[in-house]
């Protein structure tokens, strides 16, 4: 699956703001059992794909300060 695949419906993080900086987009690729993450400024560039459990662990790490934002 590529970042511009029609199977992906990208959502921009509400924390990204309107300025265009630090923009993160997430797409659920449930048909592939994955969660995709990309930099919205480089829409057709690389994307990170995570299994649902990895995505949950990542979000938990952000919330607990393991991965400072």
Q: How many Cβ atoms are within 10 Å of 36's Cβ, its own excluded?
A: 22
43 within some domain: yes
What is the per-residue pLDDT for 14?
73
**Would 54 be classed as within a structural domain?**
yes
Q: Is residue 2 part of a domain?
A: no
* Sign of the CA dihedral with 10 first, then 35, 3, and 21 last: positive
Please give the residue range of the domain that contains residue 16. Answer: 11-64
Q: What pLDDT is attached to residue 39?
A: 85
Q: What is the pLDDT of residue 7?
A: 74
| 4 found inside a domain | no
57 lies in a domain?
yes
SS3 call for 4: coil
Task: Answer whether residue 6 is part of any domain.
Answer: no
Mean pLDDT by 10 residues, the chain (69 residues): 76 70 78 82 83 90 82
Q: What is the pLDDT of residue 60?
A: 92
Into how many domains does the chain fold?
Answer: 1
pLDDT of residue 31: 64
pLDDT, residue 22, reads: 67
Instruction: Give the separation between CA 62 and CA 56, rounded to whole angstroms.
Output: 10
């Amino acid at each position: 699956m590529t970042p511009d695949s029609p199977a992906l419906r990208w959502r921009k993080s509400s924390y990204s703001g309107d300025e265009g900086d630090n923009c993160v987009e997430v797409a659920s690729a449930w048909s592939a059992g994955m969660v995709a993450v990309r930099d919205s400024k480089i829409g057709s560039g690389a994307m990170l794909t995570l299994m649902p459990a990895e995505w949950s662990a990542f979000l938990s790490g952000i919330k607990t300060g393991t991965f400072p934002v």
